[in-house]
Amino acid sequence: MKWCEGNQIKLNMDKTEAMFYQTNRSSKIFPDTLLMKDGEITVCSSAKFLGIYIDQNMRWDTHCTSLSKRLHSVIYTLNVLRDKLAEPVLKLIYSSNFVSQITYGIIFWGNSGFSNKIFVDQKWAIRTIFHLKRRTSCRGIFRKHGYMTLIGLYIYKCLMFVQQNRKLFMNYEIHSNTRKMDYYFLPKCRLALTQNQVEFMCLKLYNRLPRGFCTSSEDKHFKNRLRKFIIECEPYTVDEFYEYCSSVV
Q: What is the largest CA-CA distance in the chain?
A: 63
* pLDDT confidence tier of residue 10, bands split at 50, 70 and 90: confident
DSSP 154-223: HHHHHHHHHHH-GGGGGGGB--S-SS---SBPPPP--SHHHHTSHHHHHHHHHHTSPTTS---TT-TTHH
Would the pLDDT of 80 be above 80?
A: yes
Q: Which residues pair with 87 in a beta bridge?
A: none
The pLDDT tens digits for 137-169 are: 999 999 999 999 999 999 999 999 998 888 888
Contact present, 203 and 162 (Cβ < 8 Å): yes
The pLDDT tens digits for 207-216 are: 899 877 765 5
Task: Return the SS3 of 29.
Answer: coil
The pLDDT tens digits for 41-59 are: 778 778 888 888 888 877 8
